[in-house]
Amino acid sequence: MWQNSYDETPTLYIVPTPIGNLDDITIRAVNILKEVEVIFSEDTRVTSLLLKHFEIKKHLICLHDHNEDKIKEIVLDYLEKGKNAAIVTDRGTPIISDPGYKTVEYIVMKGYNVVSLPGATAFVPALTSSGLNPKPFTFYGFLNSKESKCKKELEELKFFKSTIIFYEAPHRLEKTLNLMHNVLGNRKISVSREISKKYESIFRGTISELLENLGTIKGEYVLVVEGYTESEDVNNLTIIDNVNLYISNGMKIMDAIKCVARERNIPKNQVYKEYHTRRNK
C-alpha cells in the first residue's frame, strides 16, 4: 500500500548529521531539527554540541542499542499525540551501522510516516574515491568483533563479486586486515579515515601493502575491498570454498554440494560432511 510521506500527519524523521565537517549538514536537516518536538539521539552529549553550533534548542532523549525496545514506545507516544520527532546518530545517517532500525520498523507497523532525509554517510565518499569498481557494491558495515566469527563472515563473503565496504574501529584494524589477507587473499583495497575532516587520508593499494604501511592507527576507518575475480583456478579451491562459490552465485546449499561432488568425482556424503563440519566450527 502506498503512503504519502507529506500528508501533514505526525512524522518520524531520520536526519543525517555531519561525519566530520559541520558544513556538510543540509539546510533541510537544520530546519527539521528546529521544527520537530523532540530529537531521539544516540548520545545526547554529542548531539547537544551539534545543536548548540546551529543555535537549536530542543528536548533530547537518548536512543541506543540497549534501550531501543523501551524508547520506541516513547517515540510512538509523541506521534500519537500529534507531534513530529527526529532520530539522529552521533555522525552520519541513523540505522547505517547505528541504532534506529527497531524504532523505524515499529513506527511503520503502527501506520505512521517515516521520512528519511538524504545526507552525510561515510561509505559513499569512501567508495567513490576508492578507484575500485562501484558497480555492484555490497555495504557490510562492521564485522563481528570475535575473531572466529569474523573469519566465518569473511569466508561467506569470499566469493562475492561485488566490491565490499566495511567499517572498522582503530583498535581492531590490523587484526581485521590480517584476517582479510588470510581469507580473501591479497586483494586491492582502499581505506579512508577521518572523512571530511582536516586530516582525511586515503590508502589505495593491496592488503599486504597496507599492512606494511599502516603507520599510526587512529580515527574512523572505511574499508573498500575488491570483489572476487575468477582468476583463481577452481581446482585449487578447498571443498568448502568450492561449495561457497556456488552458493555465492545463488545456488542452494544441497545443490552446490551435489555439483562439487560431481565435479570432483567423490561421494556427495563426503562433501556434505566436510562442508558442515567446517561450517559449524
State the chain's mean pLDDT as an integer: 92
pLDDT band per the 50, 70, 90 thresholds, residue 54: very high
Distance between CA atoms of residues 111 and 1, nearest Å: 11
CATH of domain 123-225: 3.30.950.10
List, for residues 5-50, the tens digit of each pLDDT value: 999 999 999 999 999 999 999 999 999 999 999 999 999 999 999 9
**CA dihedral over 13, 14, 20, 21, signed as positive or negative:** negative
Q: Using alpha carbons, list the distances in angstroms from residue 270 to 239, 245, 266, 277.
A: 10, 18, 7, 11
Greater confidence, 214 or 276?
214
Lowest-confidence segment of 45-59, 152-166, 266-280 by average pLDDT: 266-280
- Every domain of the chain and the residues it spans: 11-116, 123-225, 234-279
Contact residues for 250 (Cβ-Cβ < 8 A; gap 6+)? none
CATH of domain 11-116: 3.40.1010.10
pLDDT band per the 50, 70, 90 thresholds, residue 218: confident
C-alpha cell at 105: 520498523
List, for residues 130-145, the tens digit of each pLDDT value: 999 999 999 999 999 9
Residue with cell 559449524: 280
pTM here? 0.81
- Smallest CA-to-CA distance from 207 within 175, 237, 243, 177 is with 177
